[in-house]
Structure formats: structure tokens, C-alpha cells
């Protein structure tokens, strides 16, 4: 509550502060002080904007990294599925190649 009262200046308080600044620094120094204050505010805003852009870039890179990891996992799963399918096909091929070698023809029925 005290901080709210500290910053709630009314007209007369502002005039007193303005005259105190005028007496302390003189009329010629006030524009110079305001320019310095303006430069400080610009530098602060530039630093803030730079920090914001760096954070956004970092977040964007993290999202891209996450997407790449997901794609990598999906590709690994597809490769594993294709390898399993290939192994099954190789087993079937071996079975069909072994049957004629055993003297049994899969196309000719026995007993006819």
C-alpha cells in the first residue's frame, strides 16, 4: 500500500519535483539529461528485443529438434518393420526352396 502512495503523484508534487530538478541541474543540463535517459531507454529496449529474439530462436530450434527426433523414431520403426517383413519373406523363400529338395513337389499331389 505504501508503494502505491509513493507512485501516485498529483499535480503539486510533480511541480515540486520539476523545480527541484531544475535547481539541481540547471536549465542547460536538463535536455542533456533527457537525451541520456532516452539513450538508456533505447538501449534497454534493444537489449530486451535481442533477448526476446534469442529466446524465440532457441524455442524454435528446440521444437525443430523435437520434430527431427520424432521423425527419426518413426523412420527407425519403419525400418524395423521392413526388416521383419524381409526376414519373413526370406523364410518363406527358404521353405519353398527346401520342399523340392526333399523330393516333394508342392505343385503335384501325391497319389494321383
How confident is the model over 28-76, as pLDDT tens digits? 887 888 899 899 999 999 999 999 999 999 999 999 999 999 999 999 9
Alpha helices in the chain (DSSP H): 2-7, 11-101
Q: How far apart are CA 66 and CA 33, in angstroms?
A: 49
* Annotated domain spans of the chain: 8-98
The pLDDT value recorded for residue 1 is 46
The pLDDT value recorded for residue 111 is 52
Mean of pLDDT values over 19-23? 81
* Per-residue pLDDT band at 21 (split at 50, 70, 90): confident
Structure confidence by residue, pLDDT tens digits, 86-110: 999 999 998 888 775 555 555 655 5
103: left (phi over 0), alpha (psi -120 to 50) or beta: left
Amino acid at each position: 500500500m505504501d508503494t502505491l502512495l509513493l507512485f501516485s503523484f498529483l499535480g503539486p508534487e510533480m511541480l515540486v519535483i520539476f523545480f527541484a530538478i531544475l535547481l539541481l541541474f540547471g536549465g542547460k543540463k536538463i535536455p542533456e539529461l533527457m537525451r541520456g535517459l532516452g539513450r538508456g531507454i533505447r538501449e534497454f529496449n534493444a537489449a530486451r528485443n535481442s533477448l526476446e529474439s534469442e529466446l524465440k530462436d532457441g524455442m524454435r530450434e528446440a521444437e525443430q529438434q523435437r520434430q527431427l527426433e520424432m521423425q527419426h523414431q518413426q523412420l527407425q520403426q519403419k525400418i524395423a518393420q521392413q526388416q521383419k517383413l524381409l526376414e519373413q519373406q526370406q523364410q518363406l523363400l527358404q521353405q519353398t526352396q527346401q520342399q523340392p529338395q526333399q523330393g516333394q513337389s508342392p505343385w503335384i499331389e501325391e497319389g494321383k
